[in-house]
């Protein structure tokens, strides 16, 4: 189900997000290892496509499980943790694709996976924020992961469905 509804007072739509099952479908139909790595970096690390194409193997600190993201939005550098399962795949850096090529590859993979939502590569970043917030990461931690200066920007990415609110409400009143 899609929750692309208008945000109160601003007239803008909430971002589409992919759940784990939808992302797994996309992964399952992606045969190109470089595309697969890029998609995983978007979903698991919340990276922008422009940040992914700049990553080099020298930006991976295996010991600390961190990626050095060079010159992200606003020309800011930052460190981003990566999950253990992503570790070996990072040997494939750099991804060797341009921004537009990855955007096209993601759209095609989404269609092959049967995703009917209007998704774009940036949807992976929205999905990362939602994924981590639903698993207990604080808004401030997600803000740091995404490299946002303002918490209000992070709140836009932190899409919580009405069903999630209802489930929490039901848990409170058991």
pLDDT in tens, 145-163: 888 777 777 777 655 556 6
pTM: 0.81
Residue 62 lies in a domain: yes
Chain Cα centroid distance, residue 160: 15
pLDDT tens per residue, range 21-69: 999 999 999 999 999 999 999 999 999 999 999 999 999 999 999 999 9
Residue 163 lies in a domain: no
Question: Catalytic: 75?
Answer: no
Residue 171 lies in a domain: no
Number of structural domains in the chain: 1
Question: Catalytic: 125?
Answer: yes
Which CATH number belongs to the domain containing residue 34 in this structure? 1.10.443.10
Question: Catalytic: 157?
Answer: yes
Residue 172 lies in a domain: no
Residue 149 lies in a domain: no
* Owning domain of residue 100: 20-124
Strand ranges of the sheet holding 60-61, from the earlier edge strand across to the other edge: 60-61, 66-69, 78-81
Residue 161 lies in a domain: no
């Amino acid at each position: 189900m899609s929750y692309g509804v208008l945000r109160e007072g601003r007239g803008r739509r909430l971002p589409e997000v992919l759940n784990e099952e939808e992302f797994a479908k996309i992964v399952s139909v992606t045969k190109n290892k470089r595309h697969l790595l890029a998609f995983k970096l978007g979903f698991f690390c919340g990276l922008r496509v422009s940040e992914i194409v700049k990553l080099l193997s020298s930006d991976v600190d295996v010991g600390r499980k961190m990626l050095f993201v060079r010159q992200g939005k606003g020309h800011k550098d930052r460190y981003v943790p990566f999950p253990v399962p992503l570790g070996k795949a990072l040997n494939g850096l750099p991804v060797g694709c341009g921004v537009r090529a990855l955007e096209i590859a993601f759209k095609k993979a989404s269609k092959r996976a049967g995703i009917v939502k209007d998704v774009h590569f940036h949807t992976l970043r929205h999905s990362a924020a939602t994924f981590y917030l639903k698993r207990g990461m604080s808004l401030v931690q997600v803000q740091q992961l995404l490299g946002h200066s303002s918490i209000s920007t992070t709140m836009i990415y932190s899409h919580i469905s009405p069903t999630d609110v209802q489930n929490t409400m039901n848990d409170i009143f058991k």
